[in-house]
Structure 1
Amino acid sequence: MISSYSDLIQASHSQQEPQRLLFVFCRAELPDEASPEERAAFERGEGGALTPVICVDKTPEEAPDFGALQEESRATGQSWDVVFVAAMSGRGGTPPSTDEAQQPLTMMVESIRLGHISNYLPLDSYGNAVSLG
């Protein structure tokens, strides 16, 4: 079971084929049409909608620790609350290229926008797996 970013990196290195990791950083926001109850829950840190603000792909070697990923995301000026991660397997000992990752990354962003997040690993801003629901 993966409970942190470091677990994810270890798992990626144990795969038969090299991996490329897809990251979608999201900010929790309250929709304009939220009810008073939803607003109160959001103030307590519950509910809201996850809006993708940054997406990027990396090999595990390009992002070996969560601190480096945090620093890179901070450099964009975008704040975020949760990052969703997915992995793509390479072929013949070669990881997928950034070009090959673009369509799956775009589909991942759209899935998250629609609320379909069950296929992705959600991590908090410290790199710990979180349960959303």
Structure 2
Amino acid sequence: MAISRFADLLDEARRQSEPQRLLFVFARAELPDNPTAEQRQRFEQGEGGVLTPVLCVDKTPDELNDMAALTAESQKTGIEWDIVFVGALSGSGGEAVSDDAVERQLQRMVESLQMGNTQAFLALNRQGEAVALQ
């Protein structure tokens, strides 16, 4: 199944036979250090920049109703974000994923995103639509 929006993600996670934990790393678009005039101009037009991870959270599919609820919860932190990257962990043998495993995977996601590796994750905008990053 191709996931093109947040609802698709929840549906797919709920269909899995093993318990799922969805991992979210929220990122904000920023200008790179020492931007060129061209980089600054593109950024002001809503293009380019670098994505900086600013917030992480994990949820089970049953803890989520829709993207609006996730966005509203994130707004309570006061941290602005532009894109959320999503990964998932599966339990095994019917057992839930441990908190330690979730924490390690969230850290790996952050490190990967800081290195510019975005392709391994589903990227969603604030409306819950999948986006392709270049």
When the two structures are superposed, what TM-score results if normalisation uses the length of structure 1?
Answer: 0.96
What residue in structure 1 maps to residue 129 of structure 2? Answer: 128
For residues 39-87 of structure 1, the C-alpha deviation after alignment (integer angstroms, 9 at most, x for no partner) is 1111111110001110011101112311111111000000100000001
| Local SS of the residue matching 1:92 | coil
Secondary structure, aligned partner of 1:10: helix
Structure 1 counterpart of 2:34: 33
CA distance in 2, matches of 1:94, 1:19: 10
1:98 and 1:82 map into 2 onto residues whose CA distance is 24
Q: Which residue of 2 aligns with 1:12?
A: 13
Counterpart of 2:98 in structure 1 is 97
Using the aligned pairs only, state the percent identity. 53
Aligned residues, how many? Answer: 133
Which runs of no fewer than 5 residues in structure 1 stay unpaired?
Answer: none
Query: Would the aligned equivalents of 1:57 and 1:98 in 2 still touch at CA under 8 Å?
Result: no
CA distance in 2, matches of 1:19, 1:95: 7
CA distances 1:87-114 after superposition (whole Å, capped 9, x unpaired): 1111112231333200010010111011
CA RMSD of aligned residues (A): 1.0
> Partners in 2 of 1:18 and 1:3 — Cα distance?
22
